[in-house]
Structure 1
Amino acid sequence: MNRFVCDVCGWVYDEAEGYEDGGIAPGTLWADVPEDFECPLCGVGKDQFSQE
Protein backbone atom coordinates (compact mmCIF):
# COMPACT_ATOMS: atom_id res chain seq x y z
CA MET A 1 0.00 0.00 0.00
CA ASN A 2 1.18 3.51 -0.83
CA ARG A 3 0.85 6.97 0.65
CA PHE A 4 0.11 10.16 -1.26
CA VAL A 5 0.84 13.62 0.08
CA CYS A 6 -0.87 16.87 -0.85
CA ASP A 7 1.72 19.11 -2.51
CA VAL A 8 -0.02 22.21 -1.15
CA CYS A 9 -0.66 21.49 2.54
CA GLY A 10 0.99 18.14 3.32
CA TRP A 11 -2.15 16.13 4.17
CA VAL A 12 -1.47 12.42 3.62
CA TYR A 13 -3.77 9.82 2.06
CA ASP A 14 -2.68 6.35 3.15
CA GLU A 15 -4.22 3.57 1.03
CA ALA A 16 -4.12 1.19 4.01
CA GLU A 17 -6.14 3.62 6.16
CA GLY A 18 -8.42 5.13 3.52
CA TYR A 19 -10.36 8.24 4.52
CA GLU A 20 -13.46 7.05 6.31
CA ASP A 21 -14.69 10.58 7.11
CA GLY A 22 -14.83 11.11 3.35
CA GLY A 23 -16.46 7.75 2.62
CA ILE A 24 -13.29 6.04 1.36
CA ALA A 25 -12.81 2.61 2.92
CA PRO A 26 -9.46 1.33 4.23
CA GLY A 27 -7.56 -0.50 1.52
CA THR A 28 -8.82 1.76 -1.27
CA LEU A 29 -6.08 2.31 -3.84
CA TRP A 30 -5.37 5.90 -4.89
CA ALA A 31 -6.36 4.97 -8.45
CA ASP A 32 -9.79 3.97 -7.11
CA VAL A 33 -10.35 7.21 -5.18
CA PRO A 34 -12.96 9.24 -7.12
CA GLU A 35 -11.53 11.74 -9.61
CA ASP A 36 -13.48 14.56 -7.92
CA PHE A 37 -11.74 13.92 -4.58
CA GLU A 38 -10.55 17.10 -2.86
CA CYS A 39 -7.98 17.43 -0.11
CA PRO A 40 -9.94 17.70 3.16
CA LEU A 41 -7.63 20.43 4.47
CA CYS A 42 -7.06 22.76 1.52
CA GLY A 43 -9.49 21.65 -1.20
CA VAL A 44 -7.11 20.93 -4.08
CA GLY A 45 -7.77 18.00 -6.42
CA LYS A 46 -6.05 14.64 -6.89
CA ASP A 47 -3.68 16.15 -9.45
CA GLN A 48 -2.00 18.08 -6.62
CA PHE A 49 -0.91 14.91 -4.76
CA SER A 50 2.40 13.08 -5.09
CA GLN A 51 3.30 9.56 -4.10
CA GLU A 52 5.36 9.61 -0.94
Structure 2
Amino acid sequence: MQKYVCDVCGYVYDPANGDDDGGIAPGTSFDALPDDWVCPICGAGKDEFSPE
Protein backbone atom coordinates (compact mmCIF):
# COMPACT_ATOMS: atom_id res chain seq x y z
CA MET A 1 0.00 0.00 0.00
CA GLN A 2 1.05 3.59 -0.68
CA LYS A 3 2.77 5.49 2.14
CA TYR A 4 2.04 9.20 2.65
CA VAL A 5 4.37 11.87 4.07
CA CYS A 6 3.31 14.88 6.13
CA ASP A 7 4.46 17.99 4.25
CA VAL A 8 4.75 19.88 7.55
CA CYS A 9 6.89 17.60 9.74
CA GLY A 10 7.92 14.62 7.62
CA TYR A 11 5.91 11.96 9.49
CA VAL A 12 5.26 8.94 7.26
CA TYR A 13 1.85 7.27 7.45
CA ASP A 14 2.44 3.60 6.64
CA PRO A 15 -0.82 1.67 6.11
CA ALA A 16 0.92 -1.54 7.19
CA ASN A 17 1.32 -0.03 10.68
CA GLY A 18 -1.80 2.14 10.97
CA ASP A 19 -1.86 4.69 13.80
CA ASP A 20 -2.27 3.02 17.20
CA ASP A 21 -2.55 6.32 19.07
CA GLY A 22 -5.23 7.52 16.65
CA GLY A 23 -7.18 4.27 16.80
CA ILE A 24 -6.36 3.35 13.19
CA ALA A 25 -5.89 -0.38 12.63
CA PRO A 26 -2.97 -1.78 10.64
CA GLY A 27 -3.97 -2.32 7.02
CA THR A 28 -5.98 0.93 6.79
CA SER A 29 -5.20 2.77 3.55
CA PHE A 30 -4.65 6.53 3.63
CA ASP A 31 -7.84 7.07 1.60
CA ALA A 32 -9.81 5.10 4.20
CA LEU A 33 -8.68 7.32 7.10
CA PRO A 34 -11.46 9.44 8.61
CA ASP A 35 -11.66 13.00 7.26
CA ASP A 36 -10.87 14.34 10.75
CA TRP A 37 -7.69 12.26 11.13
CA VAL A 38 -4.59 14.40 11.76
CA CYS A 39 -0.85 13.82 11.82
CA PRO A 40 0.01 12.30 15.23
CA ILE A 41 3.19 14.39 15.40
CA CYS A 42 2.16 17.92 14.36
CA GLY A 43 -1.63 17.83 13.96
CA ALA A 44 -1.69 18.61 10.22
CA GLY A 45 -4.79 17.49 8.33
CA LYS A 46 -4.93 14.88 5.57
CA ASP A 47 -4.69 17.63 2.96
CA GLU A 48 -1.13 18.32 4.16
CA PHE A 49 0.09 14.83 3.13
CA SER A 50 1.68 13.75 -0.15
CA PRO A 51 2.34 10.27 -1.56
CA GLU A 52 5.83 9.03 -0.73
TM-score class, shorter:
over 0.9
User: Residue type of the partner of 1:8?
Assistant: V
TM-score normalized with structure 2 length:
0.93
How many residue pairs get aligned? The number is 52
TM-score normalized with structure 1 length:
0.93
Q: Does 1:17 align with 2:17?
A: yes
Equivalent position of 2:32 in the other structure: 32
Deviations, residues 14-41 of structure 1 (Å, cap 9, x unaligned): 0111111110000001111001111111
Q: Does 1:41 align with 2:41?
A: yes
Structure 1 segments, 4+ long, off by >3 Å, are none
Quote the sequence identity (%).
Answer: 62
- For structure 1, the 5+ residue unaligned runs are none
